[in-house]
């Protein structure tokens, strides 16, 4: 129950779980997982810590739930990628879609990027690693030369870098996004071309 202007308590229409997730994600992304305490999350929501435990069994479960809810689009992307022919077009489209996925769940991926060490220790670490590998396996031909495999991985991580590290570069964000995308597309294209030459 919250407090209204006249001091009475107010119904929370069962959206508390969602609100916890929202606040937690914001704080996790801003300050990191370990530096964000449950007290802090609770205070932001005007709830007691115990309330958090009604909705989530542990602190880790909060981040796991966020991960599970927000990485659905990546799973979808993997499914889609697997259903397509392994052409250059497909790979380019994958890069474009992946770029969009990252942008849509920016806070989560910013969190993952800034806390790679922490994430690895959490239960989501392995899952995330698997997803990354799945994506890579769609981009790269395991028979391809190592250098082309690297190019593809580099394309993926260029998107990450573009989102989370180049924030301080000049130019407006949208322009930068396009430039990053172009470089990533170039990388997969080059990787593919060599394949054709073989």
Partner DNA sequence: GATGAATGAGAGTTCATTCAT
Partner DNA sequence: CATGAATGAACTCTCATTCAT
Beta strands 9-10 and 2-3: pairing type?
antiparallel
- Between 88-104 and 124-139, two packed helices, what is the crossing angle to 10 degrees? 150
CA angle centred on 104, ends 126 and 75, rounded to 5°: 40
Please state, in angstroms and rounded to a whole number, the distance separating the CA atoms of residues 107 and 164.
Answer: 10
192 binds DNA (CB under 7 A): no
44 sits near DNA (criterion: CB under 7 A): no
189, 92 Cβ separation under 8 angstroms: yes
Binding mask 58-97 for DNA (x = CB under 7 A): xxx-------------------------------------
Binding flag, residue 161, a second copy (CB under 8 A): yes
Question: From the list 149, 189, 194, 195, which residue makes contact with a second copy (rule: CB under 8 A)?
Answer: 149
96 vs 113: CA distance, rounded Å: 19
Query: Is residue 14 at the binding interface for a second copy, with CB under 8 A as the rule?
Result: no
Residues in contact with a second copy, counted by CB under 8 A, come to a total of 41
Calculate the alpha carbon distances from 176 to 14, 36, 160, 187, 196 in Å. 40, 31, 13, 17, 30
Pair 49, 38: CB distance under 8 Å: yes
Q: Which of 37, 87, 147, 173 binds a second copy (CB under 8 A)?
A: 147
Q: Is 42 helix (H, G, I), strand (E, B) or coil?
A: helix
Give dist(CA 27, CA 29) in Å, integer: 5
Task: Give the nearer residue to DNA in terms of CB position, either 39 or 133.
Answer: 39
Q: Does 30 bind DNA (CB under 7 A)?
A: no
State the minimum distance, in angstroms, from the CB of residue 6 to a second copy. Answer: 28
- Greatest CA separation for the chain: 76
173 binds, among a second copy, DNA, none (CB under 5 to 8 A by kind): none
Residue 157, interface with a second copy (CB under 8 A)?
yes
Would you tell me which residues interact with DNA (CB under 7 A)? 1, 11-12, 14, 16, 34, 36-40, 46-51, 53-55, 57-60
Would you tell me which residues interact with a second copy (CB under 8 A)? 31-32, 34-35, 111, 113-118, 120-121, 129, 133, 145-147, 149-151, 153-154, 157-158, 161-162, 165-166, 168-169, 171, 175-176, 179-180, 182-183, 186-187, 190
């Amino acid at each position: 129950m919250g407090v209204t202007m006249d001091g009475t308590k107010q119904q929370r229409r069962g959206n508390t779980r969602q609100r916890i997730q929202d606040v937690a994600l914001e704080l996790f992304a801003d300050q990191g997982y370990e530096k964000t305490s449950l007290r802090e999350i609770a205070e932001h929501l005007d709830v007691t810590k115990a309330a958090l435990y009604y909705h989530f069994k542990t602190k880790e479960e909060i981040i796991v739930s966020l991960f599970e809810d927000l990485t659905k689009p990546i799973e979808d992307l993997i499914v889609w990628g697997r259903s397509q022919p392994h052409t250059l077009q497909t790979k380019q489209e994958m890069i474009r879609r992946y770029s969009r996925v990252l942008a849509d769940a920016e806070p989560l991926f910013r969190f993952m990027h800034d806390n790679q060490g922490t994430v690895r220790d959490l239960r989501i670490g392995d899952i995330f690693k698997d997803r990354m590998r799945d994506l890579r396996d769609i981009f790269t031909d395991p028979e391809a030369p190592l250098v082309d495999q690297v190019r593809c991985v580099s394309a993926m991580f260029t998107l990450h870098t573009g989102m989370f590290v180049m924030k301080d570069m000049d130019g407006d964000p949208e322009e930068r996004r396009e430039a990053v995308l172009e470089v990533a597309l170039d990388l997969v294209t080059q990787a593919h071309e060599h394949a054709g030459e073989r």
